Amino acid sequence: MKSLDGPALVPELSVRDASVSTTFYTELLGFHIVYERQDEGFVYLSMGKASLMLEEVNGHWETGELVPPFGRGMNLQIMVDSIEPIFRRLKKEGVPLFREPFVSEYAAGAECFRQREFLVQDPDGYLLRFAQSL
């Protein structure tokens, strides 16, 4: 059996409708499909160095009742070269943002770094933070 090369950590998000979520992630956010198993409601997506998997709720992975919004308590930061194209597509389609673009400064030991970022929830409520380095 062949193994897949890729990131050491790839989040797999349980979704209510893989088709709806795949459309959101590909057409609005700019991810592309690496591979999918449509009969299982599964898709592996990537954008730049970011990868994630989507799978329709199937009873295999739930540790408790899934109640929207999913993913409460976490946000997934996705680093991109520029947040502008994603931001513009979401605005054009009328997708509400969780937080409009802003600039943050974060301490990293003795250094500080800045990034421009915004937050949006996917169709199941997962909080996505798109960020670009400044």
Domain containing residue 78: CATH number: 3.10.180.10
pLDDT tens, residue by residue, 85-128: 999 999 999 999 999 999 999 999 999 999 999 999 999 999 99
Which residues does 5 contact at the CB level (< 8 Å), separation at least 6? none
Q: What is the pLDDT of residue 64?
A: 78
Whether residue 97 lies inside any domain: the answer is: yes
Q: What is the mean pLDDT of residues 55-65?
A: 82
Predicted TM-score of the model (pTM): 0.90
Q: What is the pLDDT of residue 7?
A: 85
| Cβ contact 56:36 at 8 Å | no
Q: What is the pLDDT of residue 66?
A: 84
46: left (phi over 0), alpha (psi -120 to 50) or beta: beta
Whether residue 1 lies inside any domain: the answer is: no
2: pLDDT strictly greater than 60: no
How many domains does the chain contain in total? 1
